[in-house]
């Protein structure tokens, strides 16, 4: 049978308001539009909606607490006769009693409901540098969560005491209820209100956790960030989420990564992009320039006659991706700086150069939509 309490991360004695709040939170955190569409994500979202449908309906929840999933095929045997309940009041009780009697039979076979339930998964965010995303890093993340109570060890009982068999239901987790109808008196079962269907009571709850078996506190977890991650990637740390009530299973911690912007480099898939500004003379004559990369200082060979917007590639100095040892490239775009503060002698030198090249009256032509400026625009726009 589906564990609807575990799906929403609420205890079995949760109030309707707590159930609804847990449903809203779970649906926001697990919506396929947020976590991404996949068969697993959509199935998880269906389970959350099913849990809310059952636990938000008092009658369905009562049947479920007796050990029957009201959403299971064939569970709602009384539905074809629902029309009688409006005009013949006694018949509604009859069919409810019959349905509850079937549930009681299942409850008797399955026994009381466990006090333990799984904790809720948690999501924390971790910001890292670009270099840490490229090469990987170990980081500590500190967060608030439910921890196992250090006084009672998670069972919710005061030290030296233990749960006792419920005196009302004698450990069955349910009690008989008599329903009077036109056909006479019928017997059915309902969850025991004294023990909430658990079959045991805690006469002396732990003073530290008030019998819940867990307390609010802070935990620091070591996160191993693999090389090649990017913003939005999530890492799963099994068992580091909330501790479950009364010694229940601990949930998982999900760490969502955010990569800070770098002052010099922009990530483009597996590659890194940057712009290098050089003087006009260096572009015309060519040169070798040392530039700082994420891997340290590297030499960049600029060929004579390099044009503004030219792209030079340093192989294997890019970002890469998770699960692969291969890395992309570092692509360097040239920005040629045209001097605007020439003195008289420098202007004369340029005039002589223009005369030597026959460019005193240069011919100009439009390059159209596919020219250099369009290419630069598309490149910066990521097209």
pLDDT tens sequence across 193-211: 889 889 999 999 999 999 9
Which pLDDT score is estimated for 371?
A: 52
> DSSP state, 339?
P
pLDDT in tens, 278-307: 999 999 999 999 999 999 999 999 999 999
- C-alpha–C-alpha distance, residues 183 and 188, integer Å: 14
CB 178 within 8 A of CB 187: yes
Distances (CA, A) of 18 to 5, 8, 9, 25: 11, 10, 10, 11
Give the homologous superfamily in CATH for domain 113-163+202-260: Urease metallochaperone UreE, N-terminal domain (2.60.260.20)
* pLDDT for residue 98 is more than 90: no
N-terminal to C-terminal alpha carbon distance within the chain: 51
Distances (CA, A) of 239 to 232, 270, 308, 375: 22, 32, 54, 50
pLDDT in tens, 7-41: 889 998 888 888 888 988 888 788 776 777 787 87
- C-alpha–C-alpha distance, residues 171 and 107, integer Å: 12
Sequential DSSP letters for 258-270: EEPPPSS-EEETT
Residues 6+ apart with CB under 8 A from 120: 9, 22, 26, 241, 242, 251
pLDDT in tens, 137-190: 999 999 999 999 999 999 999 999 999 999 988 888 888 777 776 666 777 778
Q: Where are the domains of the chain?
A: 113-163+202-260, 266-380
Packing angle, helices 58-65 and 89-110, rounded to 10 = 30
**Average pLDDT value for the chain:** 84
Mean pLDDT, rounded, for 60-67? 83
* pLDDT for residue 329 is more than 50: yes
Which pLDDT score is estimated for 380?
A: 54
Which pLDDT score is estimated for 94?
A: 44
* pLDDT for residue 112 is more than 50: yes
CA-angle at 29, arms to 24 and 34, nearest 5°: 125
This prediction's pTM = 0.62
Of 4-13, 134-143, 350-359, 372-381, least confident by mean pLDDT is 372-381
Q: Which among 158, 149, 145 is positioned nearest to 207, based on CA atoms? A: 158
Please state, as a whole number, how many other Cβ atoms lie within 10 Å of the Cβ of residue 322. 14
Residues 6+ apart with CB under 8 A from 349: none
CATH class name, domain 266-380: mainly beta
Q: Do domains 113-163+202-260 and 266-380 have the same CATH topology?
A: yes
What percent of the chain is modeled with pLDDT above 70? 83
Which pLDDT score is estimated for 118?
A: 93
- C-alpha–C-alpha distance, residues 170 and 76, integer Å: 29
- The count of C-alpha atoms lying within 13 angstroms of the C-alpha of 87, restricted to the half-sphere facing its C-beta, is 3
Q: Which among 2, 1, 8, 318 is positioned nearest to 133, based on CA atoms? A: 318
Which pLDDT score is estimated for 64?
A: 84
Packing angle, helices 16-30 and 39-55, rounded to 10 = 170
Mean pLDDT, rounded, for 268-273? 95
Element (H, E) at 257: strand 253-259
């Amino acid at each position: 049978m589906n564990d609807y309490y575990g799906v929403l991360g609420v205890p079995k004695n949760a109030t309707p308001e707590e159930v609804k709040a847990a449903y809203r939170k779970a649906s926001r955190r697990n919506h396929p539009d947020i976590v991404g569409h996949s068969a697993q994500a959509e199935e998880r979202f269906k389970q959350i909606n099913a849990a809310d449908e059952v636990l938000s309906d008092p009658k369905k929840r009562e049947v479920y607490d007796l050990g029957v999933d009201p959403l299971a095929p064939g569970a709602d045997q009384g539905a074809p006769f629902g029309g009688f309940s409006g005009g013949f009041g006694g018949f509604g009780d009859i069919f409810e009693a019959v349905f509850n009697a079937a549930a009681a039979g299942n409850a008797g076979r399955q026994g009381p409901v466990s006090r333990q339930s799984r904790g809720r998964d948690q999501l924390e965010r971790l910001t890292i540098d670009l270099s840490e995303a490229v090469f990987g890093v170990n980081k500590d993340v500190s967060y608030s969560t439910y921890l196992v109570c250090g006084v009672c060890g998670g069972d919710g009982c005061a030290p030296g005491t233990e749960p006792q068999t419920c005196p009302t239901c004698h450990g069955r987790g349910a009690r008989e209820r008599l329903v009077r109808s036109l056909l006479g008196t019928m017997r059915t079962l309902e969850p025991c209100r004294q023990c909430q269907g658990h079959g045991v009571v805690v006469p002396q709850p732990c003073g530290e956790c008030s019998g819940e078996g867990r307390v609010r506190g802070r935990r620091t977890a070591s996160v191993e960030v693999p090389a090649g991650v990017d913003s939005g990637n999530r890492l799963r740390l099994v068992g580091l989420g909330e501790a479950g009530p009364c010694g229940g299973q601990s949930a998982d911690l999900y760490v969502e990564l955010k990569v800070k912007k770098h002052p010099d480099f922009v990530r483009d898939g597996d590659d890194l992009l940057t712009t290098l500004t050089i003087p006009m003379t260096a572009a015309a004559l060519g040169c070798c320039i040392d530039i700082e990369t994420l891997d340290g200082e590297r030499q960049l060979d600029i060929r004579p006659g390099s044009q503004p917007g030219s792209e030079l590639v340093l192989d294997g100095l890019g970002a890469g991706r998770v699960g692969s040892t291969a890395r992309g490239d570092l692509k360097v775009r040239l920005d040629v700086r045209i001097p605007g503060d020439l003195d008289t002698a420098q202007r004369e030198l340029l005039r002589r150069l223009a005369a030597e090249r026959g460019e005193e009256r240069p011919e100009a032509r439009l390059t159209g939509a596919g020219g250099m400026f369009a290419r630069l625009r598309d490149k910066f726009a990521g097209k």
